[in-house]
Structure 1
Amino acid sequence: MTSESMSLVDRLAERAAEIESVLDTILTADVGEEEIARPANLLAAMRYGVLNGGKRMRPFLVMETAALLGADRSAAARVGAAIECLHCYSLIHDDLPAMDDDDMRRGQPTVHVAFDEATAILAGDTLLTLAFEIIASPQTQADGERRIELIYELTKASGIGGMAGGQALDLAAETTPPDEAGIIRLQAMKTGALIRYSCEAGAILAGAAASDRERLRRFGEAIGLAFQLADDLLDVTGNADAVGKATGKDAAHGKATLVGLHGEQWAQKQLSGLVQEATQLLEPFGQSAQYLKLAARFIAERDR
């Protein structure tokens, strides 16, 4: 089977296998240069938190946008692995009792349940710093300016104005429900920022033209909105066993969502519009963007 004839499921699996191979190689017991030791329990928790399944959608977006623009495949895989480390750190911390207090993630006990809270905090902390170590390494990208740009954009996507700030707004929303504009802002930060970065990172790696980079950034924003809207819909309609985590949490915690405000039918219509917008943004790239177009639809129509 050629890569051109693969289904999206096959393509996702191929990319996920590449990312997991990189992660498995990085998360070994071998002590790295200028390291003193790698505590076994901490390493085990990190591996448990990262190598426990998942669609690897964010790394997939990095690799596909990088391939679209002719960037080095191994570099894209390493940046994808870094983003997955950062994403999984956020999941480990979000699941803690002080945050969302979840016992199940991807159909398995969460890290703080499988290990303990202190180890889960340290595992998240270490995965966060590891993400930046991977991107900063010359092994990832020889061009120092591109590495700096990748790091700079990731700090914005993951920090106070991005993912972490979005989680803070999400926690605050349990006591003071935001209006519609507030919900959109929260979701664009908590979920959308890292998805947007995943699409833009491929363009940065490729040294792409500003117009292509902006187009992929806007594509990432559209599918980021779709991802969170689909997630909120699954929280209402999904089955916990199929989804791999608890459902019905938003209503139980009194969290305002766009699905809660407008209903399921409205959400489905919005998702359709976001897929159309995302697809149109990719039209200038032609058939080369086929898997990104399929991914946009998959994100909107997923059932887990």
Structure 2
Amino acid sequence: MLLPDDPSLYFEKLVVLAIPNCRLTGEIPSWLSKSTNLQVLDLSWNRFTGAIPNWIGGFTNLFYLDLSNNSFTGNIPKSLTRLQSLSIRDVSFEDPSQDFTFIYRLNENARNMQYTNIFRFPPMLDLSHNNLSGPIWKEFGNLKKLHIFNLNANILSGSIPSSLSEMTSLEVLDLSNNNISGSIPESLESLTFLSKFSVANNNLSGRIPSSGQFQLFPNSSFEGNHLCGDYLLQCQLEAPDNKPSRTGESDSDSDIAIDFSYGMALGFGLSLVIVVFRQQLFSF
């Protein structure tokens, strides 16, 4: 089923648009760009295609965006890194609804959570389970009010920006099942509210940060990479040929020690031959 794409449609006072799991197809209609008062937009678990529109980043009051489990393609719009309600201002409601139940579910395995006030929704940006490509913009660090950032199961590439450590309210950061490379920035250790973290099934390498909340994350958060650390394989970042010699010995000192050991063995062998020869000589 397609959402009508009539340019004459105009919903100026629309605050919440939540139509998940309705088998909707096609692209997000352009008339929605006029609903500039939107605070909650949930189009998850549908069959939307095409690119995520840039104009969504212009919704100054939007703090909850769930476009997960669709078939969106292209890069993540950079405009999403400028969502004002997730960066520089707190969300407030003049007339919060108290007679309508809102349903929120973190993922397909989680139980439904019910809210009677959308003010209690966690500030969220969920783009998981799509076909999004390209990088994770370093400007996402601007979203200091964001609590849940989920990019799981796309085809994103590039590295993890160290600037994500500036998202100081983050509780969930899921970057798993992508094509992300490089290492895990140590700066993420400063995310003191982080309770769930996953980079599983990427192309990451290097050492896993070991301080802060990283002491609490299970091995499953890092599997499917080439990572090492206290909770996985011991790191061997130096090539065997570059290992320093023990007690500061130089290569020449080691050669001398080897030559000396060979000399000792040879000398002992000659001494044994001489002793045996003399014993046989005196026996006659």
TM-score, normalised relative to structure 1: 0.21
Structure with more helix by fraction: 1
Structure with more strand by fraction: 2
Query: Using CA pairs below 8 Å that are at least 6 residues apart, which structure has the higher relative contact order?
Result: 1
Which has more radius of gyration? 2
TM-score, normalised relative to structure 2: 0.22
